[in-house]
Amino acid sequence: MPDLVAELAGQARRLPVEERSRLVDLLLETLHESPIAEVEAAWAKEIERRVAAHERGEVETFDAADVFAEARHIAP
């Protein structure tokens, strides 16, 4: 098995940077598939909840320019 890992590592080193980055992301996902999937599912549900509340007019929205201006005023 270590020979296979060394061979794969050698092949990975020859990939362009963007492809190596993509490979790293894919490998990391395999280490934490369940928690990542659960977190993504929870965020998808939360996004749907927030969009629905916004569409029903249940939440107050603010103009981004106003928010950033206030933030600059509070913490220059």
Are 75 and 66 in contact by the 8 Å Cβ rule? The answer is no
- Per-domain residue ranges for the chain? 1-31, 32-76
If you write DSSP's letter for every residue of the chain in order, what string do you get? -HHHHHHHHHHHHTS-HHHHHHHHHHHHHHHSHHHHHHHHHHHHHHHHHHHHHHHTT-S----HHHHHHHHHHH--
Instruction: Kindly report the pTM of this predicted structure.
Output: 0.46
Q: How confident is the model at residue 75 (pLDDT cuts 50, 70, 90)?
A: confident
Which tens digits make up the pLDDT trace of 21-74?
A: 999 999 988 887 667 778 889 999 999 999 999 999 999 999 999 999 999 999
pLDDT of residue 76: 75
